[in-house]
Amino acid sequence: MSDPVLICYCTCPDAASAQKLADALVGDGLAACVNRLPGVSSTYRWQGKVVTESEVLLLIKTTESRFAALKQRLLALHPYEVPELIAVPVAQGHAAYLDWVRASVG
């Protein structure tokens, strides 16, 4: 059975930290591709207050077998005290693309 592909969501406070994370994850072979989506407005509760911030959303493509190492690297580099990291399995997709993701992080 082939290694399931995941899309991981992670928000960053600014473009510089998003680029640093993207470069590290792809450079270390932990992600095949990282899309950076600027201008995301996030509203959340933090330390008893409701806050709204502008963030950059990362869409990180990886595999289930590489997730633990990706998580460790991301948590080491991320500037937030509690970074968002959510992994969602890819149920279907273009087979050639999914194979490329696996080969890129394999």
Average pLDDT over residues 55-74: 98
Residue 100 corresponds to which tokens in the numbers above? 């490329």
Q: How close are the terminal C-alpha atoms of the chain, in Å?
A: 14
Task: Convert the pLDDT of each residue in 33-49 to its tens digit.
Answer: 999 999 999 999 999 99
What percent of the chain is predicted at pLDDT more than 70? Answer: 99
Residue 28 has φ and ψ, to the nearest 5°, of -85, 0
Domains in the chain with CATH codes = 5-105 (3.30.70.120)
85 phi and psi angles, rounded to 5 deg: -150, 110
92 vs 42: CA distance, rounded Å = 28
CA–CA gap between residue 92 and residue 5 (Å, rounded): 9
State yes or no: pLDDT of 97 exceeds 90: yes
DSSP reduced 3-state for 31: coil
